[in-house]
């Protein structure tokens, strides 16, 4: 087996391949150009998007050439794969703005050099397609019966599949054909929910160009308790630091289930397989492995400085050491504390409870702490005398969420 494919397989990336032996031979013969696509339907990538891009980095490191395809065209329709209902339509301007954000985030992670790692946008060839010509030249190669045999369409047929979504597979297949013509791209990689679309693209290229291309899919990552990877109490684990702070990003990884640590080290870091084994050996402290996982992933996504700050903040919050200034921090008016800050309002304003009822439940369950002490009276206001010192007040919600309140 090709060495790069071996690495991906050992680290747990590979779910399915259209032709393992053929792909391995093609990769052994020299650098192969591959692509992975993502539709900019939101303002930020989230960690659920990233498994194919971690594989992308492994493949580029092995000497292959990667294209990150931004779906500025396909996002105008929406992929039904893995969805139980039709995507909400968003404006073209919003899609373009999202695509630019995605491009910046991917560049920070993948380090585009324009030679071995670069981007393309399918808006360039999809936005102005002539529909009649497209149906004559491309649509005639697709069987409706064959399309409906794929799982993505089967599921949606039960809940309702719009005609606009039904066209999505044709457009993604056309992407592969265009990338083959423009860049000699011979491999598409992606999540396993893309299997039907990938196979359709391979068949289209075979019919139109008579060429052999390949597809490689990765498992859709779930946690050991069956939850979708990257889901938090507040929503998805976004890469944008304005949507999920580097500290909260760090804490997500620091608090993963013990059973997931080794698998996530292999998938979401570039530590050697040997080091991943050593960190998770039975005689090692699993919390040290979790901290290393959190640090490495945060460093890859947000940079070393932010990873260092998150680590220091975690040590200050949970270990009594580290730099307290690195903790998540919010500034609130000193006068509110001087007058007596209603505790339910305080926990909501600090972002530690989504509502007063949730803050009340937190207090009733002895999960709220103010100034290092458990707060038990939901009607008692917080004053400066209850705080850690004259400069700040540290709040805690449960075991894992902290906020340092500075007074202004």
Q: What share of the chain is helix, strand, coil (3-state, %, to 5)?
A: 50, 15, 35
Question: E-assigned strands of 147-291?
Answer: 185-191, 214-218, 231-232, 235-236
For the residues 369-379, what does the mean pLDDT come to?
92
Q: What is the mean pLDDT of residues 97-124?
A: 97
- Dist CA 17 CA 33 (whole Å): 16
The helix/strand/coil state of 110 is: helix
Identified catalytic residue from 105, 169, 172, 280: 172
Q: Contact 192/13 with Cβ under 8 angstroms?
A: no
Between 10 and 400, where is the model more confident?
10
pLDDT (0 to 100) of residue 399: 80
pLDDT of residue 229: 78
Identify which of 48, 61, 10, 58 has the alpha carbon closest to the alpha carbon of residue 263: 10
pLDDT of residue 85: 54
Q: Is 87 a catalytic residue?
A: yes
Query: Is 315 assigned a catalytic role?
Result: no
Choose, from 104, 228, 284, 304, the residue flagged as catalytic: 228
Q: Is the pLDDT of residue 95 over 70?
A: yes
* Higher pLDDT, residue 66 or 231: 66
Q: What is the pLDDT of residue 155?
A: 67
d(CA 129, CA 127): 6
- In this predicted structure, what is the pLDDT of residue 77? 83
pLDDT of residue 257: 93
C-beta separation of 23 from 212 below 8 A: no
d(CA 164, CA 243): 31
Catalytic entry in 11, 39, 49, 404: 49
Provide the pLDDT for residue 319: 61
Classify 368 as helix, strand or coil.
Answer: strand
Domains in the chain, CATH or no CATH each: 3-218 (3.40.50.620), 231-322 (1.10.240.10), 329-407 (3.10.290.10)
Which is the catalytic residue, given 58, 83, 356, 361?
83
Query: Could you report the per-residue pLDDT of 34-48, keeping only the tens digit for each?
Result: 999 999 999 999 999
Residue entry with tokens 């449960």: 398
> Pick the catalytic residue: 11, 18, 46, 79?
46
Kindly report the average pLDDT of the chain as a whole number. 91
State the pLDDT at residue 367. Answer: 93
The more confidently predicted of residues 269 and 151 is 269
Residue 91's pLDDT is: 92
Would you say 34 and 58 are in contact if contact means Cβ atoms under 8 Å apart? no
Q: Is 49 a catalytic residue?
A: yes
Give yes or no for a contact between 190 and 36, defined as CB atoms under 8 angstroms apart.
Answer: yes
Active-site residue, from 231, 263, 315, 361: 231
Contact present, 311 and 291 (Cβ < 8 Å): yes
**H or E stretch covering 117:** strand 117-121
Note the pLDDT of residue 144. Answer: 82
pLDDT tens digits, 183-207: 999 999 999 989 999 999 999 999 9
Which of 390, 397, 395, 342 minimizes the C-alpha distance to 366?
397
Strand ranges inside 248-325, DSSP E: none
Q: Cα(47)–Cα(157) distance, rounded to whole angstroms?
A: 29
Q: Which of 193, 308, 345, 349 is catalytic?
A: 193
Q: Is 232 a residue of the active site?
A: yes
Q: What is the pLDDT of residues 111-130, one digit of tens each?
A: 999 999 999 999 999 999 99
pLDDT at res. 165: 74
**Which tens digit of pLDDT belongs to each residue from 335-357?**
999 999 999 999 999 999 999 99
pTM: 0.83
222 within 8 A of 210, measured Cβ to Cβ: no
Q: Does residue 88 register a pLDDT over 80?
A: no
The pLDDT value recorded for residue 238 is 95
pLDDT at position 152, please? 67
Which of 18, 41, 119, 280 is the catalytic position? 41
**Binning pLDDT at 50, 70 and 90, where does residue 372 land?**
confident
Higher-confidence residue of 21 and 158: namely 21
Query: What DSSP designation does 238 have?
Result: B
Active site residue 234: no
Using pLDDT thresholds of 50, 70 and 90, give the confidence band for residue 228: confident
pLDDT of residue 86: 57
**Residue 314 confidence (pLDDT):** 84
Average pLDDT over residues 135-153: 83
Provide the 3-class DSSP secondary structure of residue 308: helix
What is the pLDDT at residue 149?
77
Residue 139's pLDDT band (boundaries 50, 70, 90)?
very high
**Per-residue pLDDT tens for 377-403?**
999 999 999 998 888 899 989 887 889
Task: Label residue 97 by pLDDT band (50, 70, 90).
Answer: very high
The arithmetic mean of pLDDT across residues 76-94, rounded, is 71
Local confidence band at 87 (pLDDT 50, 70, 90 cut-offs): low
pLDDT score, position 122: 97
Pairwise CA distance, residues 120 & 99, whole Å: 11
């Amino acid at each position: 087996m090709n060495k790069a494919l071996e690495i991906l397989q050992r680290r747990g990336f590979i779910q399915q391949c259209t032709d393992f032996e053929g792909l391995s031979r093609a990769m052994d013969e020299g650098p192969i150009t591959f692509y992975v696509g993502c539709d900019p339907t939101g303002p930020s990538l989230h960690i659920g998007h990233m498994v194919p891009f971690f594989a992308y980095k492994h493949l580029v490191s092995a000497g292959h050439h990667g294209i990150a395809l931004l779906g500025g065209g396909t996002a105008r329709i929406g992929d039904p794969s893995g969805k139980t209902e039709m995507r909400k339509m968003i404006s073209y301007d919003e899609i373009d703005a999202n695509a630019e954000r995605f491009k910046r985030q991917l560049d920070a992670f993948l380090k585009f050099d324009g030679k071995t790692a670069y981007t393309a946008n399918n808006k360039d060839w999809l936005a102005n397609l002539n529909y009649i010509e497209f149906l004559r030249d491309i649509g005639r190669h697709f069987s409706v019966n064959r399309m409906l045999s794929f799982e993505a369409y089967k599921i949606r047929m039960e809940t309702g599949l719009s005609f606009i979504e039904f066209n999505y597979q044709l457009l993604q297949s056309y992407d592969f054909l265009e990338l083959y013509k423009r860049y000699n791209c011979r491999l598409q990689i992606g999540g396993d929910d893309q299997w039907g679309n990938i196979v359709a693209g391979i068949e289209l290229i075979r019919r139109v160009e008579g060429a052999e291309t390949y597809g490689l899919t990765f498992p859709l990552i779930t946690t050991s308790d069956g939850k979708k990877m990257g889901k938090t109490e507040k929503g998805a684990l976004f890469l944008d630091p304005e949507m999920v702070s580097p500290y909260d990003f760090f804490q997500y990884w620091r608090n993963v289930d013990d059973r997931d640590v080794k698998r996530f080290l292999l998938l979401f870091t570039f530590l050697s397989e040997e080091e991943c084994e050593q960190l998770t050996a039975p005689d090692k402290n699993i919390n040290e492995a979790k901290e290393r996982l959190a640090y490495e992933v945060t460093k890859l996504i947000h940079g070393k400085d932010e990873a260092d700050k998150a680590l220091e903040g975690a040590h200050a919050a949970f270990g009594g050491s580290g730099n307290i200034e690195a903790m998540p921090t919010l500034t609130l008016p000193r006068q509110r504390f001087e007058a007596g800050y209603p505790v339910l309002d305080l926990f909501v304003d600090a972002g530690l409870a989504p509502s007063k009822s949730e803050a009340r439940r937190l207090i009733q369950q002895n999960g709220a702490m103010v100034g290092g002490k458990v707060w038990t009276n939901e009607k008692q206001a917080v004053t400066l005398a209850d705080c850690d010192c004259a400069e700040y007040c540290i709040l805690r919600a449960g075991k894992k969420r902290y906020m340092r309140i500075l007074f202004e």
